[in-house]
Amino acid sequence: MKDYHFKRILKQVLFLSFITSLMLAPGCDATVSTIDSPDDEIIELVQNPLFEFGADPWIIQHQDTFYYCYSLQDRIGVKRAVTIDQLKLAEEQIIWVAPTNTMYSKEIWAPELHFIDGKWYVYFAADDGDNVNHRMHMISSESSLITSQFKYLGKITDESDKWAIDGTILRHQDKQYFLWSGWEGDVNEQQNLYIALMDGPTRIQSERTLISLPEYDWEKMGSGNGLPTINEGPQILENNGKIFVIYSASGSWSDHYCLGALELVGEDPLLAESWKKYPAPVFFGNDCVISPGHASFIRIKEQDFIVFHHIRFAGGGWQNRQVKIQPFYWEEGRPSFGVPGLDGSLIRIAY
């Protein structure tokens, strides 16, 4: 009974919040009737952008809470809430501040929060201020509570120990793999996608396998004149037993950033031939939404959502990105992301 009344009250609060948002944004074309729902269902209408400033968005759900993990110069923050829209106003929790004068003190990029074996782990890229020294690093909580103290665990790398960013985790057939974007050698000319087998949450135990490199024209936009070609931001997307890696391609500094896709078609993820690359981008911008990329994915009550950043205006570069969320669907077993939504677009989420 208490849970029933809580849901009724929360629905009323979300309704009032939505009415307020319409008053502040009169150009929206959503209608109030879209929030009607059964008494046991909470409906939330989220107005984009989800965050007016932000990059490399990582949102997950653990138990009944949503977590948004992000970087702030030399620190890593987390916001948590019981609904997606409430993340906008959620209290910021700084879980870790980088010490000064280390190889991981600066340029902290794309932190990912994972709950593994009863603890929280964050994988992030960092360097000492010199990009050539970018590597993947880890912190973890002392307990299962996100509010517990986080400590630095060290670097996570394969034996090659080459430049690396955007690390993420794939769990497949009782094994755990690490995927990341990295250089083949020591020169900043091309970023590839690699995978390796993990031995627990903190160690890579195999050699890296190259699974994708920039080869199509749409993966090389914004490059040249000393700028590298790009495959980065690999993210795992699963559906009905199929595994995809959705990755970012072309220059993130340019107006041409987009998303490509790999599909696992073989049994062993460590074999390059087990991965099939789609020959065309699966999500790209237009004149209204510039340079969408580096996405994460979340499923809420059987509906899939993509969370992505894009540049606020043409030529805006890294410093002018914002975060949006929108639903996507499946066609013949493949993800269909559609067109990136406009500012002010209303996204219906059922809980």
Q: Taking residues 176-197, report their average pLDDT.
A: 98
Q: Is 28 a residue whose pLDDT tops 60? A: no
Domains held by the chain: number: 1
Q: What's the mean pLDDT when you consider all of the chain?
A: 91
**Does residue 238 or residue 5 have the better pLDDT?**
238
Domain CATH code at residue 145: 2.115.10.20
Predicted pLDDT at 40:
60
What is the side-by-side order of every strand in the sheet holding 65-72?
58-62, 65-72, 75-81, 93-97
Q: What is the pLDDT of residues 289-312, one digit of tens each?
A: 999 999 999 999 999 999 999 999
Predicted pLDDT at 348:
97
Predicted pLDDT at 41:
80
Q: What is the pLDDT of residues 124-176, one digit of tens each?
A: 999 999 999 999 999 999 999 999 999 999 999 999 999 999 999 999 999 99
The domain in which residue 263 lies consists of: 2-350
- Residue among 147, 173, 142, 7 nearest 83 (CA): 7
Q: Percent of the chain at pLDDT above 70? A: 89
Q: Taking residues 95-122, report their average pLDDT.
A: 98
Prior bond of 234 cis (ω within 30°): no
Read off the pLDDT band of 243 (50, 70, 90): very high
Q: Is 22 a residue whose pLDDT tops 70? A: no
- This prediction has a pTM of 0.89
- The residues assigned a catalytic role are 56, 232
- Nearest-10 Cα torsion for 83, 86, 90, 95: 30
Q: Are 130 and 143 in contact (CB under 8 A)?
A: no
